[in-house]
Amino acid sequence: MNMIPLEYQIKPFILLILLVCLISLNIIYFKCNESIGNKREVRAFKGMLVSFMVYCFEDIRLLIGDDFYTLFPPVIVCFIIAVGFGAMSFACYFWFLHVYASLHISSKFVSKNKFSFLTILINLPLFICLVLLFTPLHVYVFELTDTIAVFKPMMGFILLMDYIYLISATAISIYNRSKARTKPEKRKYSSQILFILFFTISGILIGFLLNLPAIELCVIPVVLKLFVELQDSQIYTDALTKLYNRRRMTEFMTEEIATCSEANPLTVIMVDLDYFKSINDILGHDEGDKALIAFSGALREILLSKDAVAARWGGDEFVVAGKEKELSDNFREWLSDALKDNKTINYELLFSTGAYVCTTPGMTCEQVLKQADDVLYKDKEERHKNTGDYVSKLMAVKNNGK
């Protein structure tokens, strides 16, 4: 009985790996939408998926074997090889953008100029890689022989450019993990930290498996893990405001109450957006959503550098909790100042608060919230004495908009 040459046995295996990778990446791509992250996160994650898909298509050349280098004109062969390495550079670039999009930076420090120095710095490594790969300079990166592509020292430089993105993304993930206050967030950023190992292991495998789709062998489990973490993180996030939801805040408070004491108290503040029904009735529900988004944005802004988190508890009600020492005394002033700086709506947002400082680890989450809610009720009564004045202002806004 004649044995089938090993080369012909391996090719169906290569085809299977490529097909599984392409199909899986396509499924994940079409499942990605803004419900699993912010716009920039999702756009960058999808860009990374497309980069991997392009690399998979490029690796179809492995089915041809060494004949690939002689079957096509040299210019086509060079272009296909450049596309493969370019796709990996794009994957690293989009991975950095994905992680960078989750970096919590105050809007005061974010440049509105699209052509800022930081933007140039972020795009520079990718630009250098593309110039080296897709111009006559590629002769310093690789050259073709009759049977193989020989790589030059500049290939190491391209890998260095890729690792600038990977190392920077890893540093951001480590920073975000150090700031994470809940277990789902810690898991998400831990998965991001492991991502750099995927590229490192893939690079090592390529050295041993020159004619096998080594990258694809690593892509699927890593991408699936990242996608699952993205989905899991959104289970705990309010869809409209992108703050924590009730479930995550309850878990967070339960953990923090268990470790609170006189020396390490937990401050819980219930916050109610005043006259929200009037905003909906007079300006419409779309404007009501804008008000909630603006209000939650202000909450997020003031808590970025504080040891505290915010959640939408339901409707127009929010909960802030943390062990920030100045939280109880300064919260109203912080939030009022942040709302004054908001330019997305053309009317004032008012709010009521009720704070409770918990020093007893034996209390339940419900008991702590009840204490804060009692204070909130009294504050709301006081602040709603001049309802007519605020309604008149909303009517004026409506009339001016006609």
Write the CATH number for 159: 1.20.1070.10
> Number of structural domains, the chain?
2
91 and 35 within one domain: yes
196 and 271 within one domain: no
Residue 269 lies inside a defined structural domain of this protein: yes
Q: Which whole number is the average pLDDT over 387-391?
A: 75
190 and 312 within one domain: no
Residue 170 lies inside a defined structural domain of this protein: yes
User: According to the model, what pLDDT value does residue 110 have?
Assistant: 46
Residue 216 lies inside a defined structural domain of this protein: yes
Whose structure tokens read 């918990």?
A: 358
User: According to the model, what pLDDT value does residue 228 have?
Assistant: 80
231 and 257 within one domain: no
283 and 216 within one domain: no
| Domain hosting residue 363, numbered range | 246-400
Question: What span, in angstroms and rounded, lies between the C-alpha atoms of 81 and 61?
Answer: 10
Residue 374 lies inside a defined structural domain of this protein: yes
378 and 229 within one domain: no
365 and 260 within one domain: yes
Range scoring the smallest mean pLDDT among 221-235, 281-295, 310-324, 326-340: 221-235
384 and 304 within one domain: yes
Residue 366 lies inside a defined structural domain of this protein: yes
Domain end residue (candidates: 195, 211, 235): 235
Domain end residue (candidates: 202, 235, 268): 235
User: According to the model, what pLDDT value does residue 22 have?
Assistant: 92
Residue 1 lies inside a defined structural domain of this protein: no
Residue 36 lies inside a defined structural domain of this protein: yes
pLDDT digits (tens, 9 = 90+) for 247-293: 889 988 998 898 888 888 999 999 999 888 888 888 888 888 999 99
Domain end residue (candidates: 189, 210, 235): 235
pLDDT(202) > 80 = no
What is the rounded average pLDDT for all residues in the chain? 84
169 and 104 within one domain: yes
185 and 327 within one domain: no
325 and 207 within one domain: no
User: According to the model, what pLDDT value does residue 111 have?
Assistant: 47
Task: State how beta strands 308-314 and 266-273 pair.
Answer: unpaired
pLDDT digits (tens, 9 = 90+) for 66-82: 778 788 888 898 899 99
Residue 241 lies inside a defined structural domain of this protein: no
Q: Mean pLDDT highest for which of 9-13, 170-174, 186-190?
A: 170-174
- Written as six digits, the tokens of 362 are 């034996």
Q: Which CATH number does the domain housing residue 385 bear? A: 3.30.70.270
User: According to the model, what pLDDT value does residue 231 have?
Assistant: 76
Question: pTM for the complete prediction?
Answer: 0.75
Q: Which whole number is the average pLDDT over 340-354?
A: 86
270 and 222 within one domain: no
Question: What span, in angstroms and rounded, lies between the C-alpha atoms of 229 and 200?
Answer: 21
| Residues near 189 by beta carbon (within 8 Å), at least 6 away in sequence | 173, 174, 176, 177, 180
